[in-house]
Amino acid sequence: MSGRDILIGIDAGTSVIKAVAFDLGGRQIAAASVPNRYHSGLNGAVTQSLAQTWDDCTAALRGLGAKVDGLAARTAALSVTAQGDGTWLVGRDGPVADAWLWLDARAAPTVARLAGGPANRVRFEATGTGLNTCQQGSQMAHMDAHAPALLDGAEVALHCKDWLYLNLTGVRATDPSEASFTFGNFRTRAYDDAVIEALGLTHRRSLLPPIIDGTQVTHPLTDNAARQTGLLAGTPVVLGYVDMVMTALGAGVYGGAAGDVACSTVGSTGVHLRAVRAENVHLNDEGTGYVICLPVPGIVTQVQTNMAATLNLDWVLGIAAGIMSDMGQPVTHRDLVAQIEGWLAQSTPGQIVYHPYISDAGERGPFVNADARAGFVGLSAGHRYPDLIRAVAEGLGMAMRDCYAAMGPLPGELRLTGGAARSRGLRGILSASLNAPVRVSDRDEAGAAGAAMMAAVAIGAYPDMDACIAEWVTPLLGRAELPDPALVAAYDALFHAFTASRRALPPAWDALAAARSLKGHCL
């Protein structure tokens, strides 16, 4: 290992694959990325080519090699994480078909059938994860009922990172995080026969790969993968955990005080996680959310996710952009984003409820309703555009609080990543919504960093993940920004209005869905 001073983290997202080089102390050296592509089809199909995804991964690694002198000889290990959920089927001769992604909605009828069955609560109690169309378990159950030839032709069912790991090492495996929230038990980090039975997949049990923990097990880069990536054969390869927890790990979700620290990624969508001991997990009555293991013994993350977060701001800013364009004064999205702080300063907090369910797919956290839609409650003639901007921003804070409330007590500190982290005004709203100080990580590529941190532990650069966090994560956290007491009081009152109206709206959402369906039949 002499002279090997670089760790590579691969983060294969839905639309971009990144390869990032770090030194052994966690400093980012360089990054390369390649756009990835997916395809939308009939009946909610969203698929991705397995072969193309592997080619894009190798291109990203070669691109990194072009940026870092001597990368191959200097690489001590590489680790891979990727988009979660979905179904990547591999047979004897390679891919069976294009992967079903987490965006794929074809399994909706099967989810409704399974969720209404008597065994679903047993499945939820083991996995800690609500059933939805994203997941491999529901997708495989749907395939088994409606396209069994897909499963008949497969020898193993993988996730995206598992597919890349297979190409890098020749080893078919998955990790404890995705295995336990899909087919297993988060307490044991192993498959659970009762869960597999609840999904109706006992007869497909042989498709599930072995589970390995990348902090303890590595496999060497194969000769073929070395030729394609430009790295050296034999380089240790680590199978990371799913991207949600790798990003949270790199951004600071776990800092030793399990249960008191939370981490939210507030980008196009919202992902809200808190690290707790497995025995302290709070399972809500609605049966929603995820429980996903961290690569720390006994520690898991509770997770709730919003379908849309800053997409709501994009929508309300787009209204202004459209009006300005129609008047012959076009503005860019960047121009409007720069005005947000000023608009927030011109408005009064806590006056309007906004439900940020702008996604056409409805909402999935902390409740699941495909027909949920965004809307304002409490508008009056005196309200102006800055008030709408504030209401939308506050809606993100209320939705975040709604998610954390479904996991138990609100966190004592929020660590923030994503687009909202760049705005001081938005940070203040999110902080006051939870009545918790906010800290922002200075880490650029948190997902790749989380994966590389697993490699750092695997090769013995650190004795355990706590020691790695102390050097890779904690020094990059900014100072704590305390919540404004006046905003906290306003948002405590606003939250009651938010939840009361949210619980009253489903009949209206149902009626609107029926009206839209009727209009579609008339066209």
Tens digits of per-residue pLDDT, 442-471? 888 999 999 999 999 999 999 999 999 999
Task: Report the chain's mean pLDDT, rounded to a whole number.
Answer: 92
pLDDT at 2: 61
Question: What whole-number percentage of the chain has pLDDT above 70?
Answer: 98
User: How far is 183 from 317, CA to CA, in rounded Å?
Assistant: 41
What's the Cα-to-Cα distance from 78 to each of 74, 223, 240, 256, rounded to whole Å? 11, 15, 10, 26
Sorting pLDDT into bands at 50, 70 and 90, what band is 523? very low
Which DSSP letter does residue 87 get?
Answer: B
User: How far is 421 from 155, CA to CA, in rounded Å?
Assistant: 43
Tens digits of per-residue pLDDT, 490-512? 999 999 999 999 999 999 999 99
Residue 323 has pLDDT above 70, yes or no: yes
pLDDT at 256: 52
State residue 23 phi and psi, 5-degree precision: -80, 175
pLDDT at 173: 98
State residue 150 phi and psi, 5-degree precision: -60, -50
Q: Which of 89, 210, 103 is nearest to 150 (CA)?
A: 89
Residue 1 has pLDDT above 70, yes or no: no
What's the Cα-to-Cα distance from 521 to each of 43, 324, 467, 513, 514, rounded to whole Å? 17, 35, 61, 13, 11
pLDDT at 122: 94
User: How far is 200 from 198, CA to CA, in rounded Å?
Assistant: 5
User: How far is 319 from 312, CA to CA, in rounded Å?
Assistant: 11
Tens digits of per-residue pLDDT, 399-444? 999 999 998 889 999 998 877 788 899 999 999 999 999 999 888 8
Q: How much is the average pLDDT of 68-89?
A: 96
Strands ordered across the beta sheet of 219-220: 28-35, 16-23, 6-12, 75-82, 236-239, 219-220
State residue 313 phi and psi, 5-degree precision: -65, -40
Tens digits of per-residue pLDDT, 172-202? 999 999 999 999 999 999 999 999 999 999 9
pLDDT at 258: 47
Element (H, E) at 314: helix 310-326
Q: How much is the average pLDDT of 342-357?
A: 95
CATH class of 6-244: alpha beta
